[in-house]
Amino acid sequence: MLCDVFDYPLINNLPKLNVNRLVLWLRAKFGTYFYPAVCYLVWTVVGWYRKYRYLGFRYFVRDWGQSFYRIMSPLPWIQYQIHKECLALRKSLKQSFQLKDSSTAIQLPEEGACSEEIINTASKAVTLEQNTWKSGYCSGCVYHGEPAHLQLLDKVSNMYSISNPLHPDVWPSLRRMESDIVSMTSQLLGGDVCPDVCGSTTSGGTESIILAVKAHREWALENKVVDDSMQVIIPTTAHAAFFKACDLLQLEARLVEVDPITQQVNPNDVEAMIEPNTILLVASAPNFHSGVIDPIEDLGAIANKYHIGLHVDCCLGGFFLPFMRELGHFVPPFDFRVTGVTSMSVDTHKYGYAPKGSSVVLFGSQKLRQDMYFCYPDWSGGLYCTPTLAGSRPGSLIAGCWASLVYLGKSGYLKITGEIIATREYLVQQITQRVPEISILFGAPTMIITLGSTDYNIYSIGDGMSQRGWHLNQLQHPNAIHLCLTRLHAQTGVAEKFITDLVEVVGEVKLKDNSKTGKASVYGMTQSLPDAPVSELLKYYMDIVLDE
Ligand SMILES: *Cc1c(COP(=O)(O)O)cnc(C)c1O
């Protein structure tokens, strides 16, 4: 009987658990399964402890909330709530996306349209859309956008619009351009002192990251004793692409929480998480969230000590930090010069000012780069081997990227980087002086300004800025908005306009007393929900973007 495992003292009537008797009772009950079950239980609890020790309570609630939601989600009431949220989302998106009316082409037209008509339609739309980004109202998004630069990229890409680097024999010039891009990039990031650095162009930061993770997985399968439960240790500030990579490659993504003040990952926390099956550490230089650079040197030493990889995500910083350093600003070591760094991702389509769809993935050795390739020599279509995820690739983007790098040159990059840093310093100074209600978070000295507020709903302030035409990024954990500065923000008058708008908006929000409309409410709601229903909402959002 279960009650036998309790003692019932005569005076104190609260029963007391007698552990010895509990063990005897369990053993009698579960027989031979007892010890294995205890081991399993202890193992599970120790695992939880190790996991949440470096993540905190919020992640515990998130994970368990997800399991709970999975059990409860068939309930009609929950389904109804989700449905209601989806409808509200659709209504609010209808305006901003100008969802299709019946006149758009749903089927292939019976007869083709004439080229003037097509050019007219496209040109009208594009001219209208240019107004949004040209004036510098977007965070990130378009990074250069000056007409002469744009025209050159268009012209050169045009010449290669049907080219495909899958056939280097047909377009040998394209092969040359790709190796030039990789070489110019690596020379900026330690390739000058580490001659083994090599890489490939890809379609964007996400692909670069997926490929770097894949290469490390293949490397680990060949060189380390690992079973198929390999882990990657990822700071919470790292880009979502790392989770996509782990999802696709079936690796376990082990999150580490960052320091709430500095937003840097703590190397000791990372080291404590390493297990025999850990294959890769991740760091950002800088991260998208706050523009902060992780302590790459310390992480490199750890990666070296445990003989595992370290990927430095330099998607934002690759064509920014080297020039920032050359301009005399302090930039801590972050590239292949740091021992232990095995791969890097660098977005040429961000501060490399190339056309969209262009990035570079770099490796510390050719052997590791080979682990990125996919080979299938048995294919009926012939011997098959590709470096990246795609088969056929757009040569036009390689040509456009090459044109951007060669056209701007070092002096061009130095000039723009200097302008962006000056704009940032101006904004920081003005906000500190004129908008004391807003705090600049994390003090990262790169290209991102993160704004928070302890007194007001920062998303309401973001909404107010949206109404004035600004497209800022909404962040969470902690709640903040940010502006990722580009060349367009360095144009005359843009930073001044940002400040006057911000002053106005804060004044309004003060009066309205934390109104909760628009994006503010969407974020407010999603923050209070576990991840699973939010994912459903996001999927619904994606359906609308793709279909309507
Ligand atoms: C933009 C970015 C990425 C991913 O880039 P995509 O080109 O959008 O795939 C990865 N990491 C950081 C830090 C970024 O800013």
Q: Please name every residue paired with 441 in a beta bridge, in sequence order, or none if there are none.
A: 450
What's the rounded Cα separation, in Å, for the pair 304 and 56? 28
Q: Pull the structure tokens for residue 343.
A: 């791969």
Instruction: Kindly give the distance from the C-alpha atom of residue 206 to the centroid of ligand 1, in angstroms, as a whole number.
Output: 6
**Which pLDDT score is estimated for 497?**
93
User: Considering only CA atoms, which residue is closest to atom 3 of ligand 1?
Assistant: 205
Quote the Cα angle for 138-141-145, to 5°.
90
Instruction: Kindly give the distance from the C-alpha atom of residue 400 to the centroid of ligand 1, in angstroms, as a whole number.
Output: 19
User: Considering only CA atoms, which residue is closest to atom 4 of ligand 1?
Assistant: 205
Instruction: Kindly give the distance from the C-alpha atom of residue 350 to the centroid of ligand 1, in angstroms, as a whole number.
Output: 9
Average pLDDT across the chain, whole number? 88
List ligand 1's pocket residues with C-beta within 6 A. 204-206, 239, 241, 284, 287-288, 313, 315-316, 347, 359
Q: Pull the structure tokens for residue 125.
A: 């739309």
Mean pLDDT, to the nearest integer, of 327-355?
96
Confidence category of residue 518, pLDDT binned at 50, 70, 90: very low
**Which pLDDT score is estimated for 399?**
97
User: Considering only CA atoms, which residue is closest to atom 14 of ligand 1?
Assistant: 315
Strand order in the sheet with 448-452: 439-441, 448-452, 480-484, 473-475
Residue position matching structure tokens 């969230």: 289
Q: What is the DSSP string of 448-461?
A: EEEEE-SSS-HHHH
Distance set, CA 406 to CA 185, 205, 353 (Å): 11, 21, 11
Mean pLDDT, to the nearest integer, of 467-496?
90
Q: Please name every residue paired with 383 in a beta bridge, in sequence order, or none if there are none.
A: none
Q: Is the pLDDT of residue 1 over 70?
A: no
DSSP 294: P
Length of the chain equals 548
**pLDDT (tens digit, 9 = 90+) per residue, 15-33?**
778 888 888 888 888 887 8
Q: Pull the structure tokens for residue 315.
A: 């998607």
**Among 315, 319, 331, 296, which Cα is nearest to 444's?**
331
Could you identify the atom of ligand 1 that is nearest to the CA of residue 208? 9
Residue position matching structure tokens 């495992």: 5
Q: Is the pLDDT of residue 421 over 90?
A: yes
Lowest average pLDDT, out of 62-76, 288-302, 409-423, 464-478, goes to: 62-76
Q: Is the pLDDT of residue 544 over 90?
A: no
**Which pLDDT score is estimated for 91?**
81
What's the rounded Cα separation, in Å, for the pair 109 and 103? 12
Task: Looking at 440-530, list the stretches that DSSP marks H as alpha helix, in order from N- to C-terminal side.
Answer: 458-467, 494-512, 518-528
The dihedral through the CA atoms of 260, 261, 265, 268 has a sign that is negative
Instruction: Kindly give the distance from the C-alpha atom of residue 274 to the centroid of ligand 1, in angstroms, as a whole number.
Output: 26
Q: How far apart are the first and last CA of the chain?
A: 63
Could you identify the atom of ligand 1 that is nearest to the CA of residue 314? 13
**Which pLDDT score is estimated for 193?**
92
Task: Provide the 10 A C-beta neighbour count for residue 411.
Answer: 9
Confidence category of residue 526, pLDDT binned at 50, 70, 90: low
Considering the entire predicted model, what is its pTM?
A: 0.87
| Mutate-to-test residue for ligand 1 from 139, 239, 350, 353, highest number of ligand atoms within 8 A of CB | 239
Mean pLDDT, to the nearest integer, of 218-232?
86
Q: Are 230 and 220 in contact (CB under 8 A)?
A: yes
**pLDDT (tens digit, 9 = 90+) per residue, 241-250?**
999 999 999 9
**Which pLDDT score is estimated for 35?**
82
What's the rounded Cα separation, in Å, for the pair 396 and 164? 8
Instruction: Kindly give the distance from the C-alpha atom of residue 429 to the centroid of ligand 1, in angstroms, as a whole number.
Output: 28
Instruction: Kindly give the distance from the C-alpha atom of residue 208 to the centroid of ligand 1, in angstroms, as a whole number.
Output: 9
Could you identify the atom of ligand 1 that is nearest to the CA of residue 350? 1
Could you identify the atom of ligand 1 that is nearest to the CA of residue 209? 10
Instruction: Kindly give the distance from the C-alpha atom of residue 210 to the centroid of ligand 1, in angstroms, as a whole number.
Output: 11
Q: Pull the structure tokens for residue 27.
A: 């053993």
Q: What is the DSSP string of 100-119?
A: --TTS--S--SSPPPHHHHH
Confidence category of residue 375, pLDDT binned at 50, 70, 90: very high
Q: What is the DSSP string of 163-189?
A: --TT-TTT-HHHHHHHHHHHHHHHHHT
**Which pLDDT score is estimated for 116?**
93
Lowest average pLDDT, out of 50-64, 283-297, 389-403, goes to: 50-64
Cis peptide bond prior to 478, omega within 30° of 0: yes
Instruction: Kindly give the distance from the C-alpha atom of residue 315 to the centroid of ligand 1, in angstroms, as a whole number.
Output: 5
Q: Are 324 and 293 in contact (CB under 8 A)?
A: no
Could you identify the atom of ligand 1 that is nearest to the CA of residue 349? 7
Mean pLDDT, to the nearest integer, of 71-86?
85
Confidence category of residue 529, pLDDT binned at 50, 70, 90: low
What's the rounded Cα separation, in Å, for the pair 288 and 310? 18
**Which pLDDT score is estimated for 517?**
45
Instruction: Kindly give the distance from the C-alpha atom of residue 239 to the centroid of ligand 1, in angstroms, as a whole number.
Output: 7
Determine whether 483 is exposed, middle or buried from the number of CB atoms within 10 Å of its CB (0-12, 13-18, 19+).
Answer: buried
Distance set, CA 255 to CA 88, 273, 284, 380 (Å): 33, 9, 14, 42
Q: Is the pLDDT of residue 120 over 60?
A: yes
User: Considering only CA atoms, which residue is closest to atom 12 of ligand 1?
Assistant: 315
Phi, psi angles (nearest 5°) of residue 480: -165, 165
**pLDDT (tens digit, 9 = 90+) per residue, 94-107?**
766 765 554 567 78
**Among 341, 396, 338, 486, which Cα is nearest to 201's?**
396
Could you identify the atom of ligand 1 that is nearest to the CA of residue 359? 7
Mean pLDDT, to the nearest integer, of 69-95?
83
**Among 311, 299, 191, which Cα is nearest to 239's?**
311
Q: Are 441 and 451 in contact (CB under 8 A)?
A: yes
